[in-house]
Structure 1
Amino acid sequence: MSISETWLLPDGVADVLPEQAQVIESLRRHSLDFLASRGYQLVYTPFIEYIESLSSLSEANQDLDLVSFKVIDQLSGRLLGVRADMTPQVARIDAHVRPIEGIARYCYSGTILHTKPQNFSESRTPLQLGAELYGHQSIEADVEMIDVMLGLLETTCGLEKAHLDLGHVGLFKSLVEHAKLDKNNEHLLHDLYQRKALPELEEVTKTLPYGQDFYNLGRYSGNLSLLEQHLSNDLLKDTHFQAAFDGLKTTVKEIQKRWPNLSIGLDVVELRSYHYHTGLMYAVYAPNHAAPLAQGGRYDGIGEHFGRARPATGFSCDLYALCEGQFSEIETIVAPKGMQPDLVSAIAQARQQGLSVVQLLGNDDLSSIPSATHQFVLQNGVWSIEKIESIAK
């Protein structure tokens, strides 16, 4: 490879330069502080581990397995996986490493790696931040998680014109079970719902048991009142379906109480990660952003692979995506060479105040410090900080 090519990075991988790294790191710190204030305890998980642990969800969510890089461990000869999502790792901690009784709340932040970008123009190395709640199978837990997600976004980047999208995979799953559909028809309906293909859906459901209910589920997916009016009485009496329906209505009411100015939309046939999620699903969108700012849902039984199935709900976001296009001016104070006690003291005091101070080296001058914005100046025996108006290049 020629020298001219050695600086190139793979597609979907990028450096983060100081002006943006400062913004991202500030957001990460504020986010973790916010989550800590809500009782979510920080954990660090390894970047790589045995694929059996990282693929604990692969049977339920083949997408996760497909985006996971795999390598051979030179020490054991076993297959390792680079984490593509941190939820399986936190589930391992909850189930096996720290199996506390009662409710456990965790938060995390770290780089993950994907074999392919998950959405157009997204990074293959997102900086994932998230929170998870284990041990409580209730709408109250889901409402808490949504409230935490919204509070985090409001605190860190604002919620002006944001939109919360809510769904519940339990409606479709319970209807499939109620109608005793085979896997082929289940997958076909899943595809039609994802594509919002109502004409095809209408034609396909004509020959299915409870076909009108399947069609109306897609037709009135955004309006619970109309949906309820157009569902069969037999289905509405189904215990599992009614529990999911009531849970979704309760969630909408509770979130509206907490966030009265928030735009809330419903889509009961939004079935992303359908085989992974088990109940309520939620995502926050903003204008001019194709991908959600944050998303999550319920995934009960996630720890079963590790010997301890627990109800769980959580959300995550990509800090890089949240900070896209945001840059911060770096302010650097330049101090002259020297170890005079008064200069050393002035530099120390500035750094204690959180300011960035560098001293010139050798024959350097201000032009050698690209980020120089201020300088120490000795006036009447006192070192003061003055703004640099211009630097000759």
Structure 2
Amino acid sequence: MQSWQLPEHVADVLPTTARQLESAREQLLALFRVHGYELVQPPLMEYSSSLLTQIDAGLSLKTIRVADQISGRQLGIRADITPQVARIDAHLLSANNGINRLCYAGSVLHARPDGFLSTREPLQVGAELYGFADIAADIELIDLMLKSMVVADIGEVLLSLGHIGVFRALAQAANLDGEQSAQLLALMQDKDAEAVRVLVKAWQLDGMWAKAFALLPTLYGGREVLVEARAQLPDLFAVGSALDELQAVCDAFPERAVHIDLSELRVDNYHTGLLYAAYGDKSHDAVARGGRYDGLGRYFGRSRPATGFSFDLRTFIGRLPAIERQSVVVVDWKDVAAAGEAIEELRAQGQCVVVDYGIDYNGSNEVAGRLQNTDGIWQVVEV
């Protein structure tokens, strides 16, 4: 193997694509900014305990760990920025007891890729709102997520909704322990109602709860799913509240195509309620995901209601609009000293000025003019 080869699922980003990504990143941060979301930039690495690897098994498996040569403690390279933003809200911004709207755009690193075609170095972009528990906050974030998808130009967007609160309410009422809940969650992902039925029968659950768990994998489809769920699921307060929240989101986006799935529970362990995702018209997997994660900040000393979304900007490579390279003005390398003032003036105006050493270079095709001295005045002459 060549020593310069990159690890699997890691790749360089070349100029044309880098221009697209940076332009999209700038547009997204501008979008977040006009909606009141302030940019934060957490560090790429922290002590691994601060990254919540001890409470989220999935996040723990993604996190690359190294020894800190200064403290001797274990460091983690972040695999998800959301826990870091929760730490910032709970600790560094603790003077504000009201709402904090925060956003970010930075690289994360995964020990293993999420899928065969996934990168191990996603460019994670997202927004989070802390300090307001009402469903209105989730609706605000969903609206912002959908607007973000316009920047990526992914075509018609399907809004997918779920709610972890339905399953957890049933699990609590049925007195399931943590291991049993985890087993059922795994089966829910495969929509295997029969396997669920067999498992809960083996546990000898009360018939009402056994029926409810077997029903969950079948409760997916359009807005009519909520009517069916109210009619067939046990009349628990927490289940009713979850369905009310899902209905509120549907009502907030009356023209939007919506898919509801009460067994769509592919979340990080820190999620606590409403789940939402965006699917493009040609995407087999969600291009953006979010949800409510109340109380995550308690691990950092301040428990707060919170909701937010994120996505990997790199998944949009190939769909982002082309960003043409800026036109170039060249100046002969022998004239650089004499033309120094004119060169800096052009650059201050935003014009790209490149020193011409007499050989081809990347950007040769974008040359629009040449800086020359005409009658003692440095001027740009069209090529």
Q: Taking structure 2 as the reference length, what is the TM-score of the superposition? A: 0.89
Contact conserved, 1:221 with 1:227, CA < 8 A, in 2?
no
Matches within 5 A, 1:68-79: 68-79=63-74
Q: What is the Cα deviation at residue 37 of structure 1?
A: 0.6
Q: What is the Cα deviation at residue 72 of structure 1?
A: 0.7
Question: Which ranges of structure 1 fall in alignment gaps of 5 or more residues?
Answer: 387-393
Distance 1:184 1:137, change over 3 A: same
Contact conserved, 2:58 with 2:268, CA < 8 A, in 1?
no
Report the counterpart of residue 10 of structure 1 in structure 2: 7
Contact conserved, 1:330 with 1:371, CA < 8 A, in 2?
no
Matches within 5 A, 1:269-288: 269-273=263-267, 275-288=269-282
| CA distance in structure 1 between the partners assigned to 2:167 and 2:345 by the alignment | 63
SS of 1:142 mapped into structure 2: helix
| CA distance in structure 2 between the partners assigned to 1:274 and 1:328 by the alignment | 35
SS of 1:281 mapped into structure 2: strand
| CA distance in structure 1 between the partners assigned to 2:65 and 2:191 by the alignment | 35
Q: Are 1:253 and 2:251 counterparts?
A: yes
SS of 2:32 mapped into structure 1: helix
SS of 1:130 mapped into structure 2: strand
Distance 1:10 1:376, change over 3 A: same
Q: What is the Cα deviation at residue 249 of structure 1?
A: 0.9
Q: Are 1:126 and 2:126 counterparts?
A: no
Aligned residue among 176, 194, 197 for 1:199:
194
Contact conserved, 1:166 with 1:266, CA < 8 A, in 2?
yes
SS of 1:123 mapped into structure 2: coil
Number of residue pairs the alignment of both structures matches: 368
Deviation per CA, 1:182-209, whole angstroms, max 9, x where unpaired? 3343233212210111232344445432
| CA distance in structure 2 between the partners assigned to 1:380 and 1:53 by the alignment | 63
Report the counterpart of residue 54 of structure 2 in structure 1: 58
SS of 2:220 mapped into structure 1: coil
Q: Give the RMSD, CA atoms, in angstroms.
A: 2.3
| CA distance in structure 2 between the partners assigned to 1:158 and 1:263 by the alignment | 17
Matches within 5 A, 1:33-182: 33-55=30-52, 58-59=54-55, 61-99=56-94, 100-154=96-150, 156-158=151-153, 160-182=155-177
Q: What is the Cα deviation at residue 158 of structure 1?
A: 3.1
Q: Are 1:293 and 2:291 counterparts?
A: no
Question: Which ranges of structure 2 fall in alignment gaps of 5 or more residues?
Answer: none
Q: Are 1:26 and 2:11 counterparts?
A: no
Contact conserved, 1:334 with 1:372, CA < 8 A, in 2?
no
Q: What is the Cα deviation at residue 341 of structure 1?
A: 7.1
Deviation per CA, 1:7-63, whole angstroms, max 9, x where unpaired? 2000011111111001101111111111011111111111111111012x532x210
Q: Which amino acid aligns with 2:230?
A: E
Q: Are 1:226 and 2:228 counterparts?
A: yes
SS of 1:161 mapped into structure 2: coil
Q: Which amino acid aligns with 2:113?
A: P
Task: Give aligned-pair identity as a percent.
Answer: 38
| CA distance in structure 2 between the partners assigned to 1:153 and 1:162 by the alignment | 8
Q: What is the Cα deviation at residue 152 of structure 1?
A: 1.9
Tell me whether 369-378 or 120-129 shows the greater mean CA deviation.
369-378
Deviation per CA, 1:53-82, whole angstroms, max 9, x where unpaired? 012x532x2100111011111111111111
Deviation per CA, 1:216-240, whole angstroms, max 9, x where unpaired? 2222233111222223xxx22x221
| CA distance in structure 1 between the partners assigned to 2:361 and 2:101 by the alignment | 48
Contact conserved, 2:104 with 2:126, CA < 8 A, in 1?
yes
Aligned residue among 225, 239, 242 for 2:240:
242
Report the counterpart of residue 373 of structure 1 in structure 2: 366
Q: Which amino acid aligns with 1:281?
A: L
SS of 1:175 mapped into structure 2: helix
